[in-house]
């Protein structure tokens, strides 16, 4: 799995936000013949929580001509990865990392917002200008 500047940007943004990177990459293997590579996993402990918060982050760049088409692909991938984690009884919560300008564009469409809600998509919106998380959608 090739890592790029967006991978590094999201990793640094998570670390800056208090997350400890535990795997880079992480593989979901829910059954024989299936090996889903997730970009990274991270955890952090908040004082008010009983245990660590754990996330598996799939980083998307959306560099192709059609962000809508790429979102459709990401939605299917998200659903497969989420199902794989459930099959493994994993404690990781799947999160899709999306660049802020792309998120702002996609979220202008009601159908995109509803589709993400339907699969209970968790989203990390990251800035492109610096390693920083713009917002979380949970």
pLDDT digits (tens, 9 = 90+) for 13-68: 999 999 999 999 999 999 999 999 999 999 998 766 667 899 999 999 887 778 89
Q: 3-state class of 116 per DSSP? A: helix
Q: Residue 138 — pLDDT band, cuts 50, 70, 90? A: confident
Q: What pLDDT score does 1 carry?
A: 45
Q: What pLDDT score does 62 carry?
A: 85
Q: What pLDDT score does 108 carry?
A: 96
User: What's the whole-model pTM score?
Assistant: 0.91
What span, in angstroms and rounded, lies between the C-alpha atoms of 77 and 22?
22
Please give the residue that has the higher pLDDT: either 4 or 94: 94
pLDDT digits (tens, 9 = 90+) for 2-18: 577 899 999 999 999 99
Q: Domains (ranges, CATH) in the chain?
A: 14-137 (3.40.1350.10)
What span, in angstroms and rounded, lies between the C-alpha atoms of 125 and 99?
6
Phi, psi of 61 (to 5 degrees): -105, -35
Residues 6+ away with beta carbon under 8 Å from 21: 11, 14, 15, 40, 41, 42
């Amino acid at each position: 799995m090739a890592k790029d500047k967006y991978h590094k940007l999201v990793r640094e943004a998570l670390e800056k936000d208090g997350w400890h990177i535990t795997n880079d990459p992480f593989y979901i293997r829910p059954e024989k013949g299936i090996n889903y590579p997730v970009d990274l996993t991270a955890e952090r402990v908040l004082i008010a929580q009983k245990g660590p918060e754990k996330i598996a982050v799939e980083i998307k760049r959306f560099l192709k001509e059609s962000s809508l088409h790429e979102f459709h692909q990401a939605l299917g991938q998200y659903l497969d990865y989420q199902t794989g984690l459930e099959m493994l009884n994993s404690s990781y919560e799947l999160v899709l990392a999306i660049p802020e300008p792309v998120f702002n564009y996609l979220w202008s469409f009601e159908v995109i917002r509803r589709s993400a809600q339907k699969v209970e998509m968790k989203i990390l919106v990251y800035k492109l200008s610096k390693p920083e998380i713009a917002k979380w959608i949970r």
